[in-house]
Amino acid sequence: EPGTSVTMLVIFSNNCNLGNFLNTSPDVTPGTLSWDFGDGTTSNSQGPNVQHEYEEAGYYTVILSGISQSTGLFCYEAEIIDILLAANFLMEPTCVGDAAQFRDLTTFLPEATITGWEWDFGDPASGADNTSFDQDPTHVFSSPGFYNVTLTVTEQNGCTSVKTKIVEILPLPVIDFPQPPFNCENAALPFDLQSSDHIVDVAWDFGDAASGAANSATQPSTVHAFSTDGIFSVSLTATDVYGCQQTVSKNVAVTPNPLSGAIQTPQGLTACEGDAVDLIAPPGGTAWNWSNGGTSETISVDEEEVYSVTVTDDNGCTYTPDAVFLDVIPLPNAVISAVEYNDYNQPVGIFYNTYIICEGEDVNLQVPQNGQYQYQWSSGDLGTTAIFAEWRDNPLPVGTHVFTVTITDQSTGCVNTTEPFTVQVNELPPDFTISASGGALCENNLLTLEVDNPQASLTYVWNTGEVGTSIQTSRAGVYYAVAINTSGCRTESNELEVQSAPDIGAIPSGCHTRCNPDTICLPNLPNVVSYQWYQDGQPISAPAGTTDELAITVSGEYYVELTNAQGCTSVSDPLYLELYDAFGSILGEVYMDVNDNNIIDGPDTLVSGVTVLLEQFNTTIDASISNLFGNFAFPNIAADNYTVSIDPTSLPPDWVVVLTGLAASLQDCDDIEQVALLVDEGCPPVLVTENLSACAGETVLYEGQQLAAGSQQTFMYQAFSGCDSIVTVNVAELPTYTETLNLAACAGETVLYDGQQLAAGSQQTFMYQTFGGCDSTVTVMVAELPTYVETVNLSACAGETVL
């Protein structure tokens, strides 16, 4: 409840914004009071008097609240107060020596009128300037530090507002720069800012207007080259993070540059590749910076390029004489290679760096030819080649040999030595022999060829491709072995020749049937000196069994043993002869009866794949199938009477045999009997269906016969080949159409249909023909429409009408 147990009194004296707030509450519980001054500031002071200063002018509601001691209720009192004005000001950060700008920020109500401002800058040392009556004054503080500045503002009714703030006057940065360590004209003299303050901006003025834009710089550490000697005033201005600026100036004395001269080259400026020449810098320097990185007065160089030097003395003077160019003449060069030749003296391989050979092999070393060069081999040879071979009486012994070539360019005098070339000569395996065992060195004898006294460290390869210390063979030819050591070097053995046995390839063998008697005649076999024939494993005595012709009258197994001039023998493969008093062959063809006349004549063709049987006494003794050309054969059969027939099971189902069971008779040796057999294709009936149509009650004509609609009839024909052809004729009955059409008309009127007027209540039939020629009936019925009688009652006033 307001204004009961809690009350207050607000008193403002001459201070416009400083009030005294009195607690006059008659009945409040101690410790429960709370002040709210309306500007966001509160207080829990329980005393009788609370003082509060407002920072800004305005209208504020002040509330004092507390708990009633008698009732326990929450009570409060509120009062609105007017703060006419409240003094305030602002000063931007200022460096000592600069005019500090003060800006009045006093707030006031519209009804207030300010009549004066009074400033006290807290700087008594400034004398009369320590005060000001301007609204926004300036003041120069005599030294850096903190000052209590007070603003008093007066309102026309006499109240005042006082604001005191502590302001800081910033010191100037402490800066310096040392004199350059050297001071030669045209030398880059170093200038370095020295300061412990936080410097954010630097400006150099070197007092050298002739240098143009180079007369100034903005880096803390910089360089400047003075183009002439003399005294120069160099200024450094630095600004710290607070914007305070300090300037330092010094006189810098610049002395003239005494250095001069040219680069000296005692050996000249032309050198062979790999030779070094000395370059000497001009005198007077204490430090040297060559373009190749050298740092001494004299340098030795061997690369073709332009060389320059910068000379520096103790006073920092620098001098760069004209650069010099070293002309490096390339050395004569060549690469040693080894050339390998075949038996026709044709090069087949070139080797670089290293050449590995076996003892006794030729070595052909070479370098490319150049007419301006002279060549001297490390072996003493002159020219572009060095050859080591048995035919030159200078083969290289086993071991490692290193060769180089010294090359002289006769036009420049430059000398060079090639990269070394190594020739490795490996030892050959020792000589060795081979020998044979197992009989005479003749073909067909199983011989063992072996190395005599083989060495375990060697590999033996035979000219047959076999590897090992021994091989077996029964074939004619020349045999030798090659011993190969771990270096791949080879030594060849002696040769052993296995003599060829007589050739038995042209001597007949196998099973044969011949006429009795028969004679075996051998062709002319070279180098054969003796013959021995065998019958059933037994030798045939001379002279019949020791010639190149043998008369045979008895069936059996025969072979011949041949011996040549070298004593080598061959035995032919067995020849099994069965002698007959007579035998021959039955040959024949199978024909197709193309023109169906049951005889073999011109139009008929040969047929393949037909099985033909050879029969005796109704027993099949052999069979043959006609080949692609229709031929079959029963060769080399005993003379007798035979029957030749076609096997009908080998024919397609519709085929028939026309000529078969033909007799064939063989009478004499090498007799030939010819037979011809004939087959024909069967005649399956040909079935054909013909579909016709007719109107109901009508007929169609087919092959002279009238066929009624809806009927079916079969006709039989015979083809030229005699095969049946069956034609089934179906006559379909074409449909007719009957339709009723209902129309209507009023009594006494007509309707028009197909060009005719039909009266109401009448009926009429119309006949039409379909696309198949059959009748179609349409019955038209015209119904009479009913009439309607109706009475309508209307009304109207006398003398009026209705519509």
Q: What is the mean pLDDT of residues 668-676?
A: 88
Q: Identify residue 78 by its one-letter amino acid code.
A: A
Helices (H) and strands (E) in the chain, counts: 0, 77
Residue 47 contacts residue 64 (beta carbons within 8 Å): no
Q: What is the mean pLDDT of residues 207-212?
A: 93
Residue 269 contacts residue 325 (beta carbons within 8 Å): yes
pLDDT value at residue 719: 53
- Which CATH entry fits the domain spanning 86-170: 3.40.600.10, 2.60.40.10, 2.30.30.280, 2.40.50.460? 2.60.40.10
Buried b (16+ CB within 10 A) or exposed e, 123-157: beeeeeeeebeebebebebeeeeebebbbebbbee
pTM of the predicted model as reported, rounded to 2 decimal places: 0.39
Cα 601–604–607 angle (5° rounding)?
Answer: 135
pLDDT value at residue 631: 96
Mention every residue, 6+ apart, whose C-beta is less than 8 A from residue 719: 683, 686, 725
213 φ, ψ to 5°?
A: -65, -25
Task: Give the pLDDT band of residue 718 (cuts 50, 70, 90).
Answer: low
Buried b (16+ CB within 10 A) or exposed e, 253-273: ebbebebeeebebeeeeebbb
Give dist(CA 277, CA 198) in Å, integer: 55
**Domain pair 188-254 / 337-426, same fold:** yes
Within a 13 Å sphere around the CA of 387, how many CA atoms are in the beta-carbon half? Answer: 10
Q: Supply the CATH classification number for the domain 8-83.
A: 2.60.40.10
pLDDT value at residue 748: 85
Residue 435 contacts residue 449 (beta carbons within 8 Å): yes
What are 767-777's pLDDT values in tens digits?
Answer: 877 666 677 78
Q: Supply the CATH classification number for the domain 510-580.
A: 2.60.40.10
Going by C-alpha positions, the residue among 484, 451, 446 that lies closest to residue 358 is 484
Q: What is the mean pLDDT of residues 732-751?
A: 83
Give dist(CA 348, CA 32) in Å, integer: 123
Q: What is the mean pLDDT of residues 344-373?
A: 94
SS3 track for 138-175: EEECCCCEEEEEEEEEEECCCCEEEEEEEEEEECCCCC
Q: What SS3 class is residue 317?
A: coil
> What mean pLDDT is reported for the chain?
91
Domain 583-681: give its CATH architecture: Sandwich (2.60)
392 φ, ψ to 5°?
A: -105, 5
- Sorted by where each begins, the domain ranges of the chain are 8-83, 86-170, 188-254, 270-329, 337-426, 434-498, 510-580, 583-681, 686-734, 737-785
pLDDT value at residue 481: 96
Strands (E), 537-630: 538-539, 549-552, 556-564, 569-571, 575-580, 583-592, 605-606, 611-616, 619-625
What are 64-111's pLDDT values in tens digits?
Answer: 999 999 999 999 999 999 999 999 999 998 999 999 999 999 999 999
Residue 580 reports pLDDT greater than 80: no
Residue 177 reports pLDDT greater than 80: yes
Task: Give the pLDDT band of residue 3 (cuts 50, 70, 90).
Answer: low
Task: Give the pLDDT band of residue 519 (cuts 50, 70, 90).
Answer: confident
Region of 522 (left: φ > 0; alpha: ψ -120 to 50; beta: rest) is beta
Within a 13 Å sphere around the CA of 390, how many CA atoms are in the beta-carbon half? Answer: 4
Q: Determine the distance from the C-alpha atom of residue 87 to the mean position of all C-alpha atoms in its chain, rounded to a whole number.
A: 81
Residue 27 contacts residue 68 (beta carbons within 8 Å): yes
Domain 337-426: give its CATH architecture: Sandwich (2.60)
Q: How many other C-beta atoms are found inside a 10 Å radius of the C-beta of residue 278? A: 12
Residue 119 contacts residue 134 (beta carbons within 8 Å): yes
pLDDT value at residue 565: 87
Give dist(CA 421, CA 318) in Å, integer: 52
Task: Give the pLDDT band of residue 479 (cuts 50, 70, 90).
Answer: very high
650 φ, ψ to 5°?
A: -90, -5
pLDDT value at residue 176: 95
Question: Distances from the Cα of 452 to the Cαs of 433, 476, 484, 642, 666, in angstroms?
Answer: 6, 21, 15, 71, 68
Q: Which of 45-49, 360-364, 577-581 has the lowest mean pLDDT?
A: 577-581
Strands (E), 504-564: 510-515, 518-521, 528-535, 538-539, 549-552, 556-564
Q: Determine the distance from the C-alpha atom of residue 388 to the mean position of all C-alpha atoms in its chain, rounded to a whole number.
A: 54
Cα 281–284–290 angle (5° rounding)?
Answer: 30
Token pair 């100037």 in the structure block, residue = 172
Give dist(CA 217, CA 177) in Å, integer: 14
Question: Distances from the Cα of 17 to the Cαs of 20, 59, 66, 113, in angstroms?
Answer: 10, 11, 26, 15
The helix or strand, by DSSP H or E, that contains position 712, with its residue range, turns out to be: strand 712-718
pLDDT value at residue 160: 96
SS3 track for 299-313: EEECCCCEECEEEEC
Peptide bond before residue 543 is cis, with ω within 30 degrees of 0:
yes
211 φ, ψ to 5°?
A: -80, 0
Q: Identify residue 652 by its one-letter amino acid code.
A: P
What are 692-717's pLDDT values in tens digits?
Answer: 888 888 888 888 888 888 888 888 77
Strands (E), 337-433: 337-341, 347-352, 354-358, 363-366, 373-377, 385-388, 399-403, 405-409, 415-417, 421-426
Token pair 């009045």 in the structure block, residue = 104
Residue 789 reports pLDDT greater than 70: no
Q: Determine the distance from the C-alpha atom of residue 212 to the mean position of all C-alpha atoms in its chain, rounded to a whole number.
A: 60
- DSSP label at residue 178: P
Q: Supply the CATH classification number for the domain 188-254.
A: 2.60.40.10
pLDDT value at residue 482: 97
434-498: CATH topology: Immunoglobulin-like (2.60.40)
472 φ, ψ to 5°?
A: -120, 145
Give dist(CA 503, CA 572) in Å, integer: 9
What tokens appear for 574 in the block? Answer: 């067995």
Give dist(CA 683, CA 784) in Å, integer: 74
> Which of 552-566, 674-688, 787-801 is modeled with the greatest confidence?
552-566
Residue 449 contacts residue 319 (beta carbons within 8 Å): no
Peptide bond before residue 517 is cis, with ω within 30 degrees of 0:
yes
Task: Give the pLDDT band of residue 524 (cuts 50, 70, 90).
Answer: confident
